[in-house]
Structure 1
Amino acid sequence: MRTIIDVDDELLEAAQSELGTATKKDTVNEALRYVAERKARSRAVLDDPFFLGGSDLTDPDVMRGARR
């Protein structure tokens, strides 16, 4: 599908630099993909058992057996 839109050139350049894209089309598509997948990335971090001290590094029994 082809869509014609006005794009802020400064924002486009900043996005291209951040995303490492070369063309306007690639930049817009990658930015859209990034935003669309943002919730899934957030969930993946929050569901990580090691996030917010959920690792076994907070378990005293594990730490007693750790090498120094």
Structure 2
Amino acid sequence: MSVTQIDLDDDALTAVMRASGARSKKEAVNLALREYAQRKTRAAAFTRFYEDAEGWADDMVADAGRAHRVEKAGRGV
């Protein structure tokens, strides 16, 4: 862990401490940093999933249509 001297927004720090139950400024800042990093990581994962999922519905409809045509052809309809 590194030692860093920074100016903090007292109101924001108080709000974090109150909301989280943190008992020290250090605990509140570390908690806020971890929460922020986790939120950004989750958002990036969601974005990757969404980008990967684009077109899935179209693919599924096309696959269902192909399966239906194959089944229909197999029955001689």
TM range (shorter): 0.5 to 0.7
Higher helix share: 2
Aligned mates of 1:39, 1:9 — CA distance in 2: 24
Aligned mates of 1:24, 1:42 — CA distance in 2: 27
Q: How many equivalent pairs are there? A: 47
Across the aligned residues of Structure 1 and Structure 2, the Cα RMSD in angstroms comes to: 2.0
Asked whether 1:3 is paired with 2:18, we answer no
Runs of 5+ in structure 2 lacking a partner?
50-77
Aligned mates of 2:42, 2:26 — CA distance in 1: 23
Aligned mates of 2:38, 2:19 — CA distance in 1: 17
Q: Which runs of structure 2 are paired with 1:1-68 in the superposition (5 Å)? A: 1-42=2-43
Runs of 4+ in structure 1 deviating by more than 4 angstroms, as ranges, are: 40-45
| Deviation for aligned residue 1:19 | 1.3
What TM-score, normalized by structure 1, do the two folds share? 0.56
| Identical amino acids, percent of aligned pairs | 43
